[in-house]
Amino acid sequence: MVLGLLADGKPRGVHDISVELGLGKRAVEGACYRGWVGGVLFRSSKPVYGGLRQFRGRAGSVSTFRGFYLYLVRVEGQESARQGEIEFVPYGEEYLSSKVPKGESKAKRILRFLEENKEKAWYTTNVVKALKEWGIQPSVVMPAIHRFEAQGLLFVRGYRTETKMTPFGKGFLVTYLDQSVPRDKAIREALQRTEEQLTEDSGSNVVGQRIRAIRDQIIIASEGRDLVGYDFLKNHINCTDSELKTDIDGMKRLYRDIRQIDIFKQPYFYTASFPADDLRAAVMMKESYIRQTKGRDNRIGHNFESAIDWFIDKIQSGAQFWTQNHRDSKMDNRRITLHLIKPVGRRKGNAEVDRVWSITPSPIAQEITYVLQSKWSIVTKGDLDDHLEVLKWSQEFGVDTSNGREIKAGIQPIFAGGAFDPTGRVKTGDYILTLGQYAQRLNIQLLKASDLNDRLNKHGIDKEITLQRICRLAKDEKEVRETLNKLWNQPEKSSGFINDLAQKNKELYEFEEKLETTRKSDEPITTIE
């Protein structure tokens, strides 16, 4: 049938022949190859390239651009033929597409290469490069590797998730499994070879360096029966929140021995080798430590809110604060709970802001509502973005527009911080902005503790007395307001007031200072015998 079709002297490829004869592609391919080897057909010396249109059922017709050979009927006594620029030749080993030695398939050549180089692990892209001279294409490598993996001859490694494994940037890592040793030992040796290759690559890769540094700290802590917290890792490798989250996700996919446990909604990490009893003891120790240190942080943070609140009352005339009753009677009624129509971070239905107040500049001017969020520690880009997202998706301050969700007109976001990240840089398009410039673009006003300290100093209060110091020494928000009132009314006695406050609350913060010193020196509060 194939010879009868080609008798008209028109060259055709396997696809066209199968379509015209209504035969299967594999059957036609086998017939054409046998005809070429048997001397009754010519084949183009090189593949020609063009579009092939194939019908794929419900998916419709699909066009692909690929290379294929053309076949032509051979006239008796004819040594070759030419049609246009295409040369047609009889069968010969020099025209075979594969340069693999006769009797050895491409798959076998791949396996032999890995066996001959079994002392190391190879990325699949490097396997392709190494075997390029043998005519082995990328499309051949992975099917062969997966087939030999199923036969237990190769060890393949990539990023692992709960449902699948995906390749690294350079492809999957593959190495030969030594068949002369027990299988468990062969797998451990193969795993070690892939680990060495990953370690070698991480030396020239910034993300890889961070992932290795994170894992090293987790291993060190686990050997000492301790847990590693998110904040410690962020400070240790000196990266942003988004970079650390990306690194941790990559590390979890790469190393399956890393475990995570949340303590008071904060992630901590350890290795799978951590004994269960020691893990329970370590968790209890962290919970105790967090309760103690978190209580101090909360106290100072709330004091900072109260200090800002006092300054607004003192300096901003006509400010009308929003108030709200809370279930917890100890919670300041000037802290406002907003209702979210979409989750923001870990907050689903509600989110809190520290203060909300409204000002009407004049009888004919529009009312301005200020929404304050404060943070005692260093403020970063993520904090500003989060504040803006909360306002956008709140029922109280957000609105749907033709451009998406926006903040209502007349709402002014403010972010107050003990300090703003001086090294923080934000890339927007072709520009690199400082944190202050970025906040200005978002229309967020920044309020620094140093700005408020300047107000105190200009009023005649001793320069050594800062807002930060007052917040650390006062036992609660009420005492912050009382202290600021005394300082403001009698600035000449400011040093005496602060000394009295420090002596009065000595027992309160003495233990907190001890905890802070312990934390900075990285000494454990409690040891596990």
Residues 32-50 have pLDDT tens digits of 989 999 999 999 988 887 7
Other C-beta atoms within 10 Å of 101: how many? Answer: 9
Which one has a higher pLDDT value, 495 or 161?
495
Q: Count each helix (H run) and each strand (E run) in the chain, helices first.
A: 18, 26
Separation CA 448–CA 470 (nearest Å): 15
Nearest to 140 by CA among 102, 103, 97, 180: 97
Domains of the chain plus CATH, in order, are 2-95 (no CATH), 106-202 (1.10.10.10), 206-274 (1.10.10.10), 294-519 (3.40.1350.10)
Instruction: Look up tokens 């300290």; give the residue.
Output: 453
Percent of the chain scoring above 90 in pLDDT: 24
Type of residue at 84 = G
Which one has a higher pLDDT value, 385 or 512?
385
> 468 and 451 in contact (C-beta within 8 Å)?
no
Separation CA 20–CA 1 (nearest Å): 10
Checking if the pLDDT of 522 tops 50, the result is: no
Which residues are within 8 A (CB) of 248 and not within 5 positions of it... i.e. 6 or more apart?
Answer: 214, 233, 269
Nearest to 390 by CA among 355, 347, 438: 347
> What pLDDT is recorded for position 79?
86
> What pLDDT is recorded for position 301?
83
Residues 299-330 have pLDDT tens digits of 888 888 889 889 988 877 788 999 998 877 77
Which one has a higher pLDDT value, 240 or 154?
154
Residues 434-487 have pLDDT tens digits of 888 888 888 999 988 888 999 899 999 988 899 888 988 888 888 999 999 999
Q: How confident is the model at residue 72 (pLDDT cuts 50, 70, 90)?
A: very high
**What is the pLDDT averaged over residues 88-103?**
68
Checking if the pLDDT of 523 tops 50, the result is: no
Separation CA 442–CA 392 (nearest Å): 12
Q: How confident is the model at residue 253 (pLDDT cuts 50, 70, 90)?
A: confident
Q: In the predicted model, what is the mean pLDDT of the chain? A: 83
Give the β-pairing of 411-420 and 368-379: parallel
Separation CA 22–CA 13 (nearest Å): 14
| 263-268 LR contacts (CB < 8 Å, sep 24+) | 263/227, 263/287, 263/290, 264/290, 264/294, 265/346, 266/229, 266/230, 266/231, 266/290, 267/229, 267/230, 268/227, 268/228, 268/229, 268/230
Checking if the pLDDT of 518 tops 50, the result is: no
Q: How confident is the model at residue 524 (pLDDT cuts 50, 70, 90)?
A: very low
Residues 156-205 have pLDDT tens digits of 988 776 667 888 888 899 999 998 889 889 998 998 898 888 877 765 56
| Three-state DSSP state, 379 | strand
Separation CA 59–CA 62 (nearest Å): 8
Checking if the pLDDT of 287 tops 90, the result is: no
pTM of the predicted structure, to 2 decimals: 0.48
Strand (E) or helix (H) holding 60: none
